[in-house]
Structures are given as C-alpha cells and as structure tokens.
Chain A
Amino acid sequence: MNSASPPDLLTRSGSGLLNWLHGWRAVFRFAGVAIVESLTPRTYNSATRSVVLKQIYFTAWQILPRFTLFAALLSYVLIQIVVDTARNFGLADYALEATIRLLVLEILPLMTALFVALRSGAATGTEVVLMNIHNEIQAIEAAGVDPNRFEFIPRVIGGAISVLALTAVTSSIALLIAYVVVYGPQYWNLPDFARVVAHIFDLPTLTILWAKVLAFGLAVTVIPITEALAAPKKLFFAPIAVLRGMVRLFFVLMLIEVLSLALKYI
C-alpha cells in the first residue's frame, strides 16, 4: 500500500491552501471590480442596460407574486408564534419589537438571499461556466464587446438590485402583518407602531441592515460567476464549478449574517 510521505502531504496541503486563497482573492477582486464598474456611468450602455433589466426580470419580477405570498405566510406564522408566546409570558409589550427584529432584520433578508442564490445564483453559475467552456466569452470579446461589462457586471448589478427589492417588499409586508396581528385591523394605533419602528430602525441598525442586504446581493452573483470563470474549460468540470460556487456562496451568506449579528449584539 502506498502512503504519502510527510513532504508530499505538506506539498499537497500547501497547494490546496494556495488554491483556496486564490479562489478568495478572485472573489474579492471581482467584487471590487463590480462595485467600481457599477458606479461608473460609462458601464451603462444600451447593451448592458438590457442585461441588467433581464436579470432583474428573471431574478425578482418573475418570482415576485409567489415569493411574496410565501414570505407573507411565513411572516404571519412566525409573528403569531412570537406574539402568542410573548403574551403567555406577560411580555406582550415587547411582542411587536421582537417580531420586527426577528423578521425584518434577520430572517427575511437571509431567506431572500438564499432563495435568489438557489434560483438565480445556480443558474448564473451554470450559464457562465458553459459560456466559458464553449468559448462564447472569447467570441464576444473578439467581436469588440467586453464580456466583463456586457455579461458579468450587469448580472451582478441586476442580482444586487433584485435582492434589495425583494427584501424591501417582503419586509414591508411583514411590517403590515405585524401591525394587524398585534393591534388588529384598525389604524388608531399607528402612532404607537411608528414609535416602535423608529426605535428599532435607528441609524446604526439601518446602516448595518442595508450593508448586509447589499453584501447578500453582491454575493449571490459574484461568487457563482467567479467560480465559473475559474473552472477549467472541460465539460465535466461544469457541475463541479457550480457545486463549488454554491457551497462557497452558502458559507459567505452565513458569514455575512453572523457578522451583522455580532456587530449589532456583541
């Protein structure tokens, strides 16, 4: 039986670590380029605008009714559980604040990002890896079209806008449901409700929330695209590249969530 000698093992571990670090460097580099390009006006020509619109259509608009319905149902169930539990423990005064903190600040942004990652992140990764394998990226480059600006940056912009928009829609609906569950279907408790909301959404909380959602939005497209572009141009590497992208994406989303919790509560 052959066993790897310690120097071989060390070389392989070192090589694995280097590949892992190169992967992260590529992710951060592409994220940086995407942020700079998205803020550069010359990025937005007729071709890139149409890709951004298509990305928003397929990522957000197409799924909006079903996703909103699901988010409303989940919000209603969770709000009901939190409100009932709080009342049972004599903490009814804190029920509204607890539900808003739980849903709007944590669960809904994370759920939206995971949903977009599963639906669009996987699709984007698969499309880009196949484009790369079939040489389509080189073909459009040869036609004088910058693939980064035409194919990838617009997808990142569209993905980020979609996550922001879906989070905003589901959060607004959750706030509405929370009001109805806590106060009933009337409007004279609106000033109390507004006071609680204003107390929760102070400037630091809002800043962390928007930074988190923006990071989610960038991650769901940047990571699958980076992994897809790094894959060797062999068809049998396509599923491996998509798998790697999705695993890395999952850990990044969780890491962003943990980081935002740490910033808020520790």
Chain B
Amino acid sequence: MRLLEETPDAALISDSLPLRANLSVLENVAIVLQYRRNMNYDAAADRAWALLGRLGQTDSAFKRDPDLGSEQRFAAKLARALILPQPIILIERPGLLLPDTHYPAFLDAALTAVEDLFEQCWIVDYTWNEPLYAPR
C-alpha cells in the first residue's frame, strides 16, 4: 500500500490486491469503466473483452477468482489495471503472483501485448532477482 501512496499515478498489480471474488473476470475489468467513465455494462464489457483478448485470456472471462489459474489471475489483474491507460504500472513480486510459471518469459509476453497502454513498468522484487527482468 505504501508503494501506491508514494506513486499515486501508478497502477499496482500485487498479490495483496485481489479480484472481487463475487464478480467474473470480465466484470472485474468492466466495473472500472462503468464506475470511472459511466459506461454502460455492454460497452464496458466489450472493451474488457478486447483487452483480455490481447492478453490471450478470453477463456477466463466468465470465471471467478477461485476458479482461475495463476496466469489467468495475473492477466485479469493486469487488464483491470490497464483498462484505463496508466503512466506507470507497478508489478509487485511477480514470482508470488505467478508460482509454477516460467514467469520472466510470461511477464515479458503479457507486457509486450499491452505496451501501448502504459508508459513505464516498474517491477518491485528482491535485488537478487534483478537479472530475471529485461529492461523495458
């Protein structure tokens, strides 16, 4: 939470910020547009669907958090953070978010798919994991 307070323009993707459990992935992403842009659900869901499509995760669109795999959950959180373009995205400890995944490659592919939606990506991790991440 301190990360967010120190960088208010950033969207944080973190294990400590879960999806709303009683909403599907599509609804979790769409509510940001419904609430912040007063879009109706259909229009917001279309945009959310398109973003999930770019991340290759439309299969999980109608699933809820407990039914998601770690990659699907990460993609959902990334989509929720980027449904409105952000200057900075902060990804906190990718290894915690993506257990049992070769996450440097997965992370790189996911960020490349949506790189027009943010200006900078900061990864917060232990210093000994620094060689895992390519500079962006």
A19, B40: Cα distance in complex, Å: 42
Among A46, A136, A150, the one with the most B-chain Cβ atoms within 10 Å of its Cβ is A46
Q: Which of A135, A142, A150 has the most CB of B within 10 A?
A: A142
Q: How far is the CB of B19 from chain A (nearest CB, A)?
A: 7
Specify which chain A residues have a CB less than 8 angstroms from the CB of B19 in the assembled complex: 136, 139
* Cα–Cα distance between A76 and B12 once the two chains are bound (Å): 59
Report if A88 contacts B (CB, 8 A): no
Nearest opposing residue in chain A for B40, CB measure: A46
Indicate if the CB atoms of A150 and B16 lie closer than 8 Å: no
| B17→A139 contact, CB < 8 A | yes
Once A46-B39, A46-B44 are accepted as A-B contacts, the answer to whether A142 and B34 lie under 8 Å apart by CB is no
Asked if A47 is at the interface (CB within 8 A of a chain B CB), the reply is yes
On whether the beta carbons of B36 and A145 are closer than 8 Å, the reply is yes
Would A46 and B17 count as touching, CB distance under 8 A? Answer: no
* Chain B 16-30 interface residues, beta-carbon cutoff 8 Å to A: 16-22
In the complex, the answer to whether A142 meets B12 with C-beta atoms within 8 Å is: yes
A127 and B32 form a contact (CB under 8 A): no
| Least Cβ–Cβ distance between B3 and chain A, in angstroms | 10
Residue among B17, B19, B44, B84 with most chain A CB within 10 A? B17
Inter-chain CA distance A144–B21, complex, in Å, is: 18
Most chain B beta carbons < 10 A, residue from A48, A134, A143: A143
The number of residues on chain A lying at the interface, defined by a beta carbon within 8 Å of a beta carbon of chain B, is: 21
Contact yes or no, A143 B80, CB < 8 A:
yes
Secondary structure call for the A interface: helix
Q: Are A143 and B1 in contact (CB under 8 A)?
A: no
Q: Is A138 an interface residue (CB 8 A)?
A: yes
**Residues of chain B contacted by A150 (CB below 8 angstroms):** 31, 35
Return the contact of B22 from the options A46, A127, A143 (Cβ within 8 A).
A127
8 A Cβ contacts from B51-107 to A: 80-81, 84
With both chains docked as a complex, state the minimum distance between the C-beta of B40 and any C-beta of chain A, in angstroms: 5
Q: What is the CA–CA distance of A261 and B131 in the complex, to the nearest angstrom?
A: 74
* Bound complex: CA A134 to CA B21 (Å): 9
B4 within 8 A of A: yes
Contact of B17 among A45, A127, A135 (CB under 8 A): A135
Tell me the A127-154 residues at the B interface (CB within 8 Å): 127, 130-131, 134-136, 138-140, 142-146, 149-150
B35 interface neighbour in A47, A127, A142, Cβ under 8 Å: A47
Cβ distance A53 to chain B, nearest Cβ, rounded Å: 11
Can you name the residue of chain B whose Cβ is closest to the Cβ of A48? Answer: B35
Query: Which one of A47, A48, A134, A140 has the greatest number of beta carbons of chain B within 10 Å?
Result: A47
B35 contacts A144, CB within 8 Å? yes
The answer to the question of A13 belonging to the interface, with a C-beta cut-off of 8 Å to chain B, is no
CB of A143 within 8 A of CB of B32, answer: yes
Do the beta carbons of B18 and A145 come within 8 Å of each other? no
B4 CB contact (under 8 Å) in A48, A50, A130, A142: A142
26 CB contacts below 8 A, A to B, read: A45-B34, A45-B38, A46-B34, A46-B35, A46-B38, A46-B40, A47-B31, A47-B34, A48-B35, A127-B22, A130-B21, A131-B21, A134-B18, A134-B21, A135-B18, A136-B18, A136-B19, A136-B21, A139-B20, A140-B20, A142-B4, A143-B11, A143-B31, A143-B32, A143-B80, A150-B35
**The 9 A-B residue pairs with the shortest CB-CB distance in the complex, in nearest-first order:** A47-B34, A139-B17, A47-B35, A46-B34, A45-B38, A145-B35, A47-B31, A46-B40, A143-B32
